[in-house]
Structure 1
Amino acid sequence: MTDALAGIRVVDFTTTIAGPHCTRMMADLGADVIKIESPEGDLMRSRPPLRNGASALFAHLNAGKKSVVLDLKKPAASDAARRLAATADIVVENYRPGVTRRLGIDYGTLKALKPDLIYCAISGYGQDGPGADRPAYAPVVHAATGYDLAHLTYQQDKREKPDFNGIFVADFMAGAYAFGGIMAALAQKRATGVGQMVDLAMYDAMLGLLMSEFQRAQFPIELPSRPMYGPVKAKGGYIIIATASERTFGDLARAAGHPEWLEDPRFAKYSDRRENWGQFMDLFEGWSGTVPINELISILEKHSVPCSPYRTVKEALEDPQAKHRGIMEMVRDKGGLCGVPNPPFRLSASDTRARDFTAALGEHTQAVLRAVGLSDAEIAAVG
């Protein structure tokens, strides 16, 4: 089976999460991804869990990439980076705006060397504008875009202090959108021969995620007294259900043995249910709270009601469907083997999977730089 991005070279100047997530997807599709690292290495190399000094998080984000060490503050290293970028189809970076210009690896400089280059710049707030220079990590962007306070409004205990969110949503959204932007630019290049710059802002990515909140900011409406997609009581715990359509609500009422709910004017239409959802859940939990979780799930699934127990990630990975899909791929580094996620999409005519190696810091420096014409003396001056 062929690789969708076979023959595509990517020079990757990114660190931490958003950029590496983007470029790992390209490696998963067979691109030749060359990760440029400082002599200290990407800081994710030191993040736990560690096995024999190797970070599983680094493997998660960087499997399948080559590693080249360049100290870009040195003129010789900056020159080597430009020579390498001149051989690339795609360059990706996630420096703060202005840094690449100081390093001599900005879009204008590299485009002069490779006119059809696709260059993706990932930043917190975009490459220009009054807020472009603000430093940003995912938790900051979560707060800045309203994501954290939006999450708070859905909590039933009416907390005043925003919750800590250890899941870096903005990073992974930005990485996925950057991948999409690059693929669009690559398709246009194949049609026209013209390269271009992709300017990806984490801020924009997060605001795009907030569909309902984005619209309510323009057209305020009152939220229901109880969220329509919240925990539902079962005997011994909680489950989640989602009844987004008239049909699924009918299935839910029949599963509970109460078809008369369909005729109740409080619940007959979506607009009625939304307004009276708290009353409906009081009735529903009068039944569901007496049924053990596994039995409740079985009843609901037999009636085609979308539902799930609340599970840990470990439990989710053990699901037979996860194993059937091949969600986890084992990759190798100096710590041994660790599982990383494959891309969430499958292509029928090409391979889509994490590649089975995670490079040691600088493992490919000499081979890659020799291949673009650097001498041993020049290579010795770049690290």
Structure 2
Amino acid sequence: MKPLAGIRVLDLTRVLAGPFCTALMADLGAEIIKVEPPQGDDYRHIGPFVDGHSALFALTNRGKSSVVLDLKTAEAQALARQIAATCDVVVENFRPGVAAKLGLGADALRHENPALIYCSISGFGQDGPFSDLPAYDIVVQAMSGLMEANGEEGGAPLKVGEALGDLMAGLYAAWGIAAALVGRAQTGQGASLDVAMFDALFSLLPTSHAIHFYAKSAVERVGNRHPLSTPFGAYATLDGHAIIAVLGDRQFAALCGVIGVPEAASDPRYATDATRTQNEPALKALIEAWSRQHTTAQAVEALRGAHIPTAPILTLAQAANSPHAAARGLVSDLPHHGLGTAPIIGQPVRFNGEKPVASTGAPALGGGSRDVMAALGLTETQISGLIAAGIVRAT
């Protein structure tokens, strides 16, 4: 099932947030025309590399056609507007105001194509006091409240290892575009979407929101445990750590039985989730008196036997090579112009039991330029002239 089949997208994005958004749409069948500058998307030049090809670019640009336009020229800007007139969706992640200066802003393109869905992705949004600030993921993690809540208890703030600001902005953008397409089907009108990395990350902190807005308390770093529920975290074993996630009195009583202290379930210090959290150090010591006598595998097996949510902490290699990941089809190998095949991690949702992914890997720089120009009605002579002038590049 390809629910976005027939949807045409002009992708004016680079690096991560925008390309991640349009890659998700490519998985679901949308036609993605990716416009790149003559030097290509910045991610083409960021490692790790395999035979000269960027892994990051390959992972986030599957299923797209690459058109190279030098948007510093009026001729290229006019060509981009022609492409936009044939599209259902435009996605851009220029700095706020830059697209409009290029004649590619929402107002200009939607004036010519009122049904167009125009999605702008930026660090801090199209307006507001921070809108002009340069924003990489770590900047947004720092300013959203995420870093302040993340880290070891008593330690310094820590960024999350992945670029969650970019990824979540891309995910929200794809979600917003899909919703706008449904709205357009009902009204015939397009929409202008403003997606900010800052807004996206800020919206994803419900535990911190509960502590700040409802409990009226400061958000504090607590490491690998939950700030509101206990026991809910990583506990030391003979050879590493086991995750134990208990929510509710029934599960806590079961845990007490597994670790050999059933009487702890009736201890007033551990009577409720709140009191267990207040007495977390003592409870942790009680649990680790048991868990440190067992390997992680032994501890997990015992806890699972009592239906207590638990897990070992896996490496990415272990997760990727697990039989469950294989059964769920989490990794796909797609045809790639330079590598033969390339592994990608497609969108994860199954539609009627099937997981749609793009049919091709990331494109060669300018690999689709001639076909897209021809589809606009340009002759081979005109296309060759644009290439000779450096306005268009094709491979």
**TM-score when normalising by structure 2:** 0.91
> What is the identity, as a one-letter code, of the residue corresponding to 1:178?
A
Contact 2:332–2:345 at 8 Å: present in 1 too? Answer: yes
SS of 2:3's equivalent in the other structure is coil
> What is the identity, as a one-letter code, of the residue corresponding to 2:365?
L
Structure-1 separation of matches of 2:365 and 2:40:
6
Contact 2:29–2:358 at 8 Å: present in 1 too? Answer: no
Match status 1:375 vs 2:379: yes
SS of 2:150's equivalent in the other structure is helix
> What is the identity, as a one-letter code, of the residue corresponding to 2:285?
D
- Written as runs of structure 1 = structure 2, the 5 A alignment for 1:22-171 is 22-152=21-151, 155-156=152-153, 158-160=154-156, 162-163=157-158, 165-171=160-166
CA drift at 1:319: 1.3
Structure-2 separation of matches of 1:128 and 1:271:
41
Match status 1:323 vs 2:326: yes
C-alpha distance after superposition, 1:336-356 (max 9, x if no partner): 323211212111176512323
Contact 2:150–2:160 at 8 Å: present in 1 too? Answer: no
Structure-1 separation of matches of 2:197 and 2:23:
18
> What is the identity, as a one-letter code, of the residue corresponding to 1:220?
K
1:13 matched residue in structure 2: 12
Match status 1:184 vs 2:187: no
**Larger RCO (CA within 8 A; separation ≥ 6):** 1
CA drift at 1:120: 0.4
Identity of aligned residues (%): 39
Candidates 357, 361, 372, aligned match of 1:357: 361
C-alpha distance after superposition, 1:78-137 (max 9, x if no partner): 000000000000100011100001111000010011110000000111111222111111
SS of 1:338's equivalent in the other structure is strand
CA drift at 1:225: 7.7
Structure-1 separation of matches of 2:274 and 2:44:
51
1:272 matched residue in structure 2: 275
Candidates 202, 213, 221, aligned match of 2:208: 213
> What is the identity, as a one-letter code, of the residue corresponding to 2:116?
L
CA drift at 1:367: 0.4
> What is the identity, as a one-letter code, of the residue corresponding to 1:342?
G
SS of 1:209's equivalent in the other structure is coil
Structure-1 separation of matches of 2:236 and 2:270:
19
Contact 1:97–1:127 at 8 Å: present in 2 too? Answer: yes
Candidates 277, 285, 304, aligned match of 1:282: 285
C-alpha distance after superposition, 1:235-276 (max 9, x if no partner): 111121111233322332222233222111111211111111
Seen in structure 2, the aligned counterparts of structure 1 residues 126 and 286 have a Cα distance that, compared at 3 Å, is same
SS of 2:311's equivalent in the other structure is strand
Seen in structure 2, the aligned counterparts of structure 1 residues 224 and 252 have a Cα distance that, compared at 3 Å, is farther
> What is the identity, as a one-letter code, of the residue corresponding to 2:171?
A
- Written as runs of structure 1 = structure 2, the 5 A alignment for 1:195-344 is 195-218=190-213, 219-221=215-217, 227-228=225-226, 229-333=232-336, 334-344=338-348
2:229 matched residue in structure 1: none
Of 45-54 and 24-33, more deviation after overlay is shown by 45-54
Candidates 366, 371, 376, aligned match of 2:370: 366
Seen in structure 2, the aligned counterparts of structure 1 residues 274 and 70 have a Cα distance that, compared at 3 Å, is same
C-alpha distance after superposition, 1:130-172 (max 9, x if no partner): 22111111111001112111113xx13x224x33544101011
Contact 2:11–2:35 at 8 Å: present in 1 too? Answer: yes
> What's the C-alpha RMSD, in Å, of the aligned pairs?
1.8
CA drift at 1:68: 0.4
CA drift at 1:195: 0.5
Of 38-47 and 347-356, more deviation after overlay is shown by 347-356
Aligned length: 378
Contact 1:241–1:306 at 8 Å: present in 2 too? Answer: yes
Contact 1:121–1:199 at 8 Å: present in 2 too? Answer: yes
Contact 1:53–1:335 at 8 Å: present in 2 too? Answer: no
**TM-score when normalising by structure 1:** 0.94
> What is the identity, as a one-letter code, of the residue corresponding to 2:295?
P
Seen in structure 2, the aligned counterparts of structure 1 residues 58 and 269 have a Cα distance that, compared at 3 Å, is same
Structure-2 separation of matches of 1:29 and 1:251:
44
Structure-2 separation of matches of 1:360 and 1:10:
18
Candidates 188, 194, 198, aligned match of 1:193: 188
